[in-house]
Amino acid sequence: MNFIGLVAAVATFFSIWFGHVAVRKVEFISPTIWMPTVIFAIAGITLEWFSLSTSNFLLSAAFGILGITLLWDALEFTRQQNRIKKGHSPANPQNPRHARLMREYPAVTNLDLLKRDPLGKPVSPSEAIKLIH
Amino acid sequence: MNFFGFALGIATLLIIGLGFVWVIRGERYFGYLWWPYVMGLGILLIAASLFVNNLWSSALLGVIGASLAWGSTELKEQAVRAEIGWYPFHEKKILPPLAKSIKKWKAPHL
């Protein structure tokens, strides 16, 4: 049995899952974008350093995958803010940065339009709002 | 210096990037009800990676399998995005076998 594929799979799945949830939650509450971006970039670079330094291939794979994913997540904070501007992700009125976006961009909303099951047909913007209530 | 993990990390980034493409296209033409098959294929590839001796082949099989398993949990949300009009909506979808039963199951979303 060769466990490198399983380790790579677990590292990939949990890295994506962690990034998916963390980027949304952190961007939701963080007053700035640059702070989480810098923290995730430093964490990613550190993990890549670990990955390069170890002679164990299982550890090198896990650190390598998690590190690169965290570096991508660092960029995702900006992309997530762009989703907020377009109203594709819910804004947090308690976050001063989001409150500002709410004033500057008419599409910003605090509704999560994705929180429902698919219907199988296109819906109008007003229907899309009704469907989540 | 051991470049294996770094190179595998870059390969993983590209494979995840491909995930964006197949989730969007796959949902558009086939619909989200394929999710159990996609998840099953992902798990199968991860299981197969255990029996592949070559380091890179086994690692890439694992990453591709995990990316398929993750993507399967994204299909339902992508279907809603297309219905809202954030992505092109394609009416005629090629449905999977047992689509009616799958529709009654709760599609996973993480």
Interface confidence, given as ipTM, is: 0.95
Chain A contact for B110, CB < 8 A? yes
**Are residues A9 and B89, on separate chains, in Cβ contact within 8 Å?**
no
Question: Contact A67/A57 with Cβ under 8 angstroms?
Answer: no
| In the predicted structure, residue A133 carries a pLDDT above the cut 80 | no
* A20: helix, strand or coil: helix
- Within a domain: residue B1? no
Domains in chain B, number: 1
pLDDT in tens, B66-78: 999 999 999 999 9
The one-digit pLDDT tens for each residue of chain B (110 residues) are: 999 999 999 999 999 999 999 999 999 999 999 999 999 999 999 999 999 999 999 999 999 999 999 999 999 999 999 999 999 999 999 999 999 999 999 999 88
Nearest to B13 by CA among B69, B75, B67: B67
**Are residues A68 and B9, on separate chains, in Cβ contact within 8 Å?**
yes
pLDDT in tens, A69-126: 999 999 999 999 999 999 999 999 999 999 999 999 999 999 999 999 999 999 999 9
| Sequence-separated (6 or more) residues with CB below 8 Å from residue B97 | none
- Within a domain: residue B26? yes
**Are residues B12 and A8, on separate chains, in Cβ contact within 8 Å?**
yes
Handedness of CA B84, B85, B90, B91 (dihedral sign): positive
Contact residues on chain A for B76, CB-CB shorter than 8 A: 117-118
**Number of C-alpha atoms within 13 angstroms, CB side, residue A72?**
20
Stated pTM of the model:
0.95
- Within a domain: residue B60? yes
- Within a domain: residue B109? no
- Within a domain: residue B24? yes
| In the predicted structure, residue A56 carries a pLDDT above the cut 80 | yes
- Within a domain: residue B34? yes
Question: What does the alpha-carbon distance between residue B68 and residue B4 come to, in Å, rounded to a whole number?
Answer: 22
Q: How far is B19 from chain A (nearest CA, A)?
A: 11
- Within a domain: residue B4? no
- Within a domain: residue B100? yes
Question: Contact A97/A112 with Cβ under 8 angstroms?
Answer: no
Q: Which domain holds residue B99?
A: 9-104
Q: How far is A30 from chain B (nearest CA, A)?
A: 22
Q: How far is B89 from chain A (nearest CA, A)?
A: 7
Question: What does the alpha-carbon distance between residue A13 and residue A44 come to, in Å, rounded to a whole number?
Answer: 17
